[in-house]
Structure 1
């Protein structure tokens, strides 16, 4: 890595872009457009909807009807604006580059775009290349999922620049992700003079949470998590309402369907309460197929030529846009981004030494698939 290259990546990290900050995300899109200006790359910018940032579709390679290689990166992060000023300042400590979003996933997006640009300049792509840069992955890709699936159906392979796992492992399978919202309604009353008349929605929600958490089955790879609860209006009032979201992770489509039915079928344990559940599977399971295994073997051979050992990680618990393409039967490699650790935390960092070899791997994939 040259100092000039690092300076460019520093600019990316300084440009904070949490999903809900449309202006910040669009500044990131501006940086990508500028990055492509001196390369034979067709740039299409699709305005974002629902208050979210824009989408970029970058095209390069031969202009044929042959199925393309689809590369996917997202430029939204989870860190709120201001994180870089106080809680996670941009800094280099040895091989570690710290900063909000550097690992998940600006580091990987940046060097993979550089690889894409280099292949476009050299004209060495064997098939059409489509690079989809999205603004909404961290919230489940609500506006870009249809685009991802549309491009996926017209592609031979999908490559995802999410961060590498421990010690640079690549991702070839992920759990499916479900998201649900539960609303419990009881009956309000004064906590002192009318306590007997009330029906405590928080109390009923607690019983429902026990039922939800009991759906976790580690042997099957099923986890259910209630990470937030909100309810009540005052300490001396029996609460009428309580709400909580549920995070579901599953390894198979069948388990996703079964647990979804169980969650949507939650019933109050007392007739004076009402329980309403909405939601469903947000990302289908990304299961490793024979075609994906062959794609991984090809990538592993390329990595060996470059000089490093590429290892496949166990099934990842987190979802990505690769779940969508894999579910369509498209051979999908994920975790092609920067190595490091601390995604979604205030200890997030990327390993500078991982950039050059992984950038070369991306170039070779684009040239040989």
Structure 2
């Protein structure tokens, strides 16, 4: 096991230093393909959107597919250097999700020589941000083999089993108007004022609710401090665990726009709504064989079991009607920051849990 863990650490360091913002994962995918071919994996190939597939074990029936996403939230200008601090590895993207990609091929060494079901691995693209799970959706739509179970591997999810997929709906709302001089045309409508009023109306009609969130994450516009703005935009992210709840939240946003449009804050202005994408919500029953297999593997390793909700590649499987969970191979924190870190001492047990989850599921009758 230590040999596998050492190999995963070395590959994590190498891969983490290759930038891979969503839509630009090609260099990482090429390096992973070299590894997988040298590991002796079968049928290594890329699909139409750039996902990288390989078969770990042959077998009969539908396959167990393990996916880890290649992309990170960091652009190419970010310093991708990693560093060690005791038993921690620090650097942008090390846990989300580089270590998971590096771990996938270790199933070849850790699983029994023969499995009843086929086992495939896939390094997906476009999981982060506005990638909108495009890689996972394509993997589920046109898989390398029929899929019976789908496991999203997230680097620092050890001790967690994500059984519920947090869905999201994202929009950019642009407000525009005639603009004008801040003093000479002080009565002219301002797109900034209108957009701020519209965002406030939306937040008022989207109060905090259990298992939901709302976030106005970005806002921009205006031409000068002494000009009534001609244009202003903001981006809003709605999330919910249950599909029907997400639909209700979208209806509330539409009502907020309607109220604003018919009120005084919109006078002389107009709004344009751009759909930025969505992630499907869904879940797997806690008594499902896949969940039981993951729980058993964690308990066997003496680890805690925490059932959680998350937004991962598994969301795409829920929409496709495929049983799915998300699990991890180590612990860590700081995701989506340049101070991200993972605990290397937990990696051997994490790799064991990953392989045992597949083996336990393979034993299900």
Q: TM-score, normalised by structure 1?
A: 0.86
Q: Equivalents in 2 of 1:258, 1:356: separation in Å?
A: 44
Q: CA deviation at 1:297?
A: 2.2
* Structure 1 residue aligned with 2:274: 278
* Structure 2 residue aligned with 1:51: none
Name the SS for the 1:132 alignment partner.
Answer: strand
* Matched residue count: 349
Change (3 A) 1:40 1:150: closer
Matched, 1:58 2:54: yes
Matched, 1:309 2:303: yes
Name the SS for the 2:317 alignment partner.
Answer: helix
* Structure 1 residue aligned with 2:242: 252
* Structure 2 residue aligned with 1:17: 20
Higher strand share: 2
1:340–1:351: 8 Å Cα contact kept in structure 2? yes
Name the SS for the 2:134 alignment partner.
Answer: coil
Change (3 A) 1:209 1:152: farther
CA offsets per residue over residues 258-288 of structure 1, 9 Å max, x none? 2222324513233422122232761121324
* Structure 2 residue aligned with 1:105: 97
2:168–2:237: 8 Å Cα contact kept in structure 1? yes
Gaps in structure 2 of 5+ consecutive residues: none
Q: Equivalents in 2 of 1:5, 1:73: separation in Å?
A: 14
* Structure 1 residue aligned with 2:36: 36
Q: CA deviation at 1:153?
A: 9.9
Q: Equivalents in 1 of 2:238, 2:145: separation in Å?
A: 27
Matched, 1:81 2:71: no
Q: CA deviation at 1:150?
A: 4.2
Change (3 A) 1:274 1:220: same
* Structure 1 residue aligned with 2:183: 192
Name the SS for the 2:303 alignment partner.
Answer: coil
Q: TM-score, normalised by structure 2?
A: 0.87
Change (3 A) 1:328 1:74: same
Q: Equivalents in 2 of 1:233, 1:33: separation in Å?
A: 47
Q: CA deviation at 1:243?
A: 0.8
Gaps in structure 1 of 5+ consecutive residues: 49-53
